[in-house]
Amino acid sequence: MADSTIPIISLSSPTASTATQILSAASTHGFLFIANDSTTISPSDIESMFDLSKTFFASPSSEKEKFAIHTPAAGGVNRGWVRMSGESLDPTQSDGDPKEAFNIAPPYPSLQPLPSPLSASADLILRFQTTCHQLCVTILKLLGEALACPDEAYVSARHDLSRGASGSIFRMLYYPPSSTPPCDHRVRAGAHSDYGSLTLLFRLPGQSGLELLGPDGAWTSVPVSPAGVSLPPPILVNIGDLLCYWTNGLLKSTVHRVAFSGGGERYSMAYFCHPLDDARLESVESRVIREFGDKGKEELTSQRKRLGLSGEEGEVITAKEHLERRLRLTYGL
């Protein structure tokens, strides 16, 4: 899979052909770019969020520690600060990813407690989360159209955050500089697939490192700005596990990782879009999925194995149960 084959799609005036392009990228690569042309998320908000993230990660560890992930002080499970080497995205690597992170859930009903550099910019954070979620819903609606679902809004409607709790999380990431990787097999973020429906990934020019695992078992790097794209970089969209379940394996929840790639410091931000907690992860009624048949069986079986669900083929789980299983594997919760 060559880098250049991940298409850059503009959502400035989406048509049926836009929907088809999204479906095609999602079912071949599990990744696509959305043009950062001001029609979706404000490029200046992206820039301001990166500035805020840099200020936050530069604050003393003793301050960040007060909002340690999963603690009541940070607002509970999957919220708050992950210290250096505090999690392994690849559960087979127990030494922890050399990175820090901070997770912020959408307000439900109100925003979680935040440390001072972040709380002072709560309006920006809320606006950013909201526009990220809207972009995800737009993409999900277009996917529903391209999949020829009798209920085109089946998936997108399950992402209406006004209707209940969901596992959606906005995450800021910081990878400190390192001239030598601690040991050969270690990467900055271990190999994994994402837990939700869609992930939006924001990266900075000159800070590469993201790699995708191809069907041939080889890792390919994903450029921050594909050739020919002027700044700002496009928004990278990653298909998560849940869309793989809903489409019977047609959409690919591709395994990826962050490699050292030069070892300079690196900041990234991810919006992990999840459906409402009670959404059931069963195949959606769709002509395209029906025609695809059971060709995604291998993909689905490996997903279920990762969750410890092997041998329970018919069992349907909810989005909440799925997230709990993934968090248990990542953090030993």
Q: Which residues bind Fe ion (CB under 5 A)?
A: 194
Least CB distance from residue 66 to Fe ion, whole Å?
27
Site for ligand AKG in 169-188 (CB under 6 A): 173
The amino acid at residue 246 is W
Least CB distance from residue 62 to ligand AKG, whole Å?
25
- The single residue among 141, 256, 274, 322 that binds ligand AKG, judged by CB under 6 A, is 256
SS3 at position 242 = helix
Nearer to ligand AKG, 166 or 193 (CB): 193
**Going along the chain, which residue ranges are E strands?**
8-9, 31-34, 80-82, 100-104, 169-175, 189-192, 198-203, 210-213, 219-221, 235-239, 256-258, 266-273
What is the rounded CA–CA span in Å between residue 180 and residue 99? 15
- The single residue among 52, 189, 279, 319 that binds ligand AKG, judged by CB under 6 A, is 189
Segment holding 301, helix H or strand E: helix 297-306
With b for 16 or more beta-carbon neighbours within 10 A and e for fewer, the 295-313 pattern comes to: ebeebbeebbebbebeeee
What is the rounded CA–CA span in Å between residue 31 and residue 291? 22
Least CB distance from residue 291 to ligand AKG, whole Å?
31
Query: Is 201 near ligand AKG (CB under 6 A)?
Result: yes
- The single residue among 87, 100, 152, 194 that binds ligand AKG, judged by CB under 6 A, is 194
- Per the structure block, which two tokens stand in for 189? 């973020």
Query: Is 258 near ligand AKG (CB under 6 A)?
Result: yes
How many residues bind ligand AKG (CB under 6 A)? The answer is 10
Least CB distance from residue 219 to ligand AKG, whole Å?
13
Query: Is 203 near ligand AKG (CB under 6 A)?
Result: yes
